[in-house]
Structure 1
Amino acid sequence: MGKQRMTVCLPPVAPDGLRQAIEGAMAPFRYDREDRPHPDWVGEWSHWFVSGAGCLFDVLPGHEDDSRLVRYDEWTEPPEDLPPTRCHGGPRGILDLDAPRAAEARRAAETWTAYRDFADRYPPALPFHHFAERAGTPDAGDAREAAVAAFLEQPLIRAIEADPALEERFTSDPALHFDEALETYVARQVAAVLPTPALLTLDGRWVEGGGPDYERMFNACLDGLPGDTMVVRVLYHS
């Protein structure tokens, strides 16, 4: 049991009917629904709140005063004072999905380039899984310790481990994350910007997941929605 965020897609709805519309869309997936589809039914949520903290949407420039934008947060106390350019949801057509993607593309390209420039000063490093697989049973005591030691002996890894700022930027296993073409790395980072752990689609499907396939599906879903579709971030207790 825990809390996680999801993105709910709804037909057009006025601000005063939004909560009721979300409740109706999520009702089929409630834990204690009376009309259970079968005796072993297990739902997805017990309670929820409108809340996009940590995954706010950008507002398309020129639409900051649109009354359909969702600016209240039912979870955060006190509520966050959002700038006009951010919101918890609104009609798909006035949410700027491209701005955060573009910002992430720039950041990712800069990080990839910085890593390559730094890594070029050292012999190429191998990812940790190379040493774990060579050890055979990496979760068994001495074998795992040997794999970790061999991984950390690499000059590039030693240099990154010695500087917390570098480790935060490049991760502790950089070869795993950066050993791919710039375009591939950037695309992977950009695809992860908008998705939440769960998605309730406009046609009523509850989808959870992670990884590239889920992220591609999530982005394609939002990109393909009609402009008047309401898209709202929700925090639910699972």
Structure 2
Amino acid sequence: MGEWDYWFVSGANCLFAVLPGHEDDPRLVRYGEWAESSEQLPRDRCRGGPRALLDLDADREVAAHEAARRWDDWASFAAGHPPALPPGPYLDRAYLDPLGYPERRARAEYASQPLIRAILEDPELADRFPYDPIRHFGPDREVYSADGGADVLPTPALLALDGRWVEYGGPDYRRGFNAYPDAPPPETMVVRVLYRS
């Protein structure tokens, strides 16, 4: 429908997990037209195949578990410091009163909070935790973990079976992308591709 100039099977590093026990099924798509040869792919990974042969939950579960571990690390570290505010309230105040409370002061006061200061002063912690950890991790471990799992499967665009081209657009896109491959009949081919638009 004019959305791309060309496409080919590949998916780069976005491989699917193969449902255990089906690693040798010839219907799995293992070749890539712009990547390593099929012999170099692990037996439990592929670029696509019939939906029934793909373990779409395997990587989501691993990512959700890893996200929960990161949240626990953050909560444990944060518990050793007084509670902190995210940068939003500081920056909102600076926006409302740019002369009396300039952005430079807002950022400095945000960074002076003991929890944030500890992160900013330690390169190892700065690598582990983002600039705005309060908002990034949020108060709910389960939500953070679920979001980590939901980020695994989606790519910037989805070509639906009916020809619709759906591009990235926030949490609704991610939710829809994760649900879409589970809906078609088991024999429906699900394949990763690279494209040029």
The runs of 5 or more residues in structure 1 that have no matched partner are 1-27, 31-43
Q: Secondary structure at the match of 1:136?
A: helix
TM-score by length of 2: 0.90
- RCO comparison, higher one (Cα < 8 Å, 6+): 1
Residue pair 2:30, 2:48 contacting (<8 A) in 1 also: yes
Cα distance in 2 for residues equivalent to 1:70 and 1:221? 19
Residues 1-238 of structure 1 mapped to structure 2, 5 A cutoff: 28=1, 30=2, 44-76=3-35, 78-79=36-37, 81-136=40-95, 143-238=102-197
Runs (4+) of structure 1 exceeding 3 A deviation are 137-140
* Identical columns (%): 56
Residue pair 1:131, 1:151 contacting (<8 A) in 2 also: yes
The runs of 5 or more residues in structure 2 that have no matched partner are none
Relative to structure 1, the CA distance from residue 93 to residue 138 in structure 2 (aligned partners, 3 Å threshold; closer, same or farther) is farther
Kindly tell me the number of residue pairs found equivalent between the two proteins: 195
Deviation at 1:234, TM superposition (A): 1.0
Write the deviation string for residues 49-100 of structure 1: whole angstroms up to 9, x where unpaired: 2112221111111111111111112223x54721011111111111111111
Cα distance in 1 for residues equivalent to 2:97 and 2:69? 34
Relative to structure 1, the CA distance from residue 224 to residue 165 in structure 2 (aligned partners, 3 Å threshold; closer, same or farther) is farther
**Equivalent in the alignment of 1:19:** none
Residue pair 2:64, 2:147 contacting (<8 A) in 1 also: no
Write the deviation string for residues 117-161 of structure 1: whole angstroms up to 9, x where unpaired: 100111112222222111117999x93322322221111112112
Deviation at 1:230, TM superposition (A): 0.5
Write the deviation string for residues 23-55 of structure 1: whole angstroms up to 9, x where unpaired: xxxxx2x2xxxxxxxxxxxxx212222112221
TM-score by length of 1: 0.75
Question: RMSD value over aligned CA atoms?
Answer: 2.1
Relative to structure 1, the CA distance from residue 56 to residue 164 in structure 2 (aligned partners, 3 Å threshold; closer, same or farther) is farther
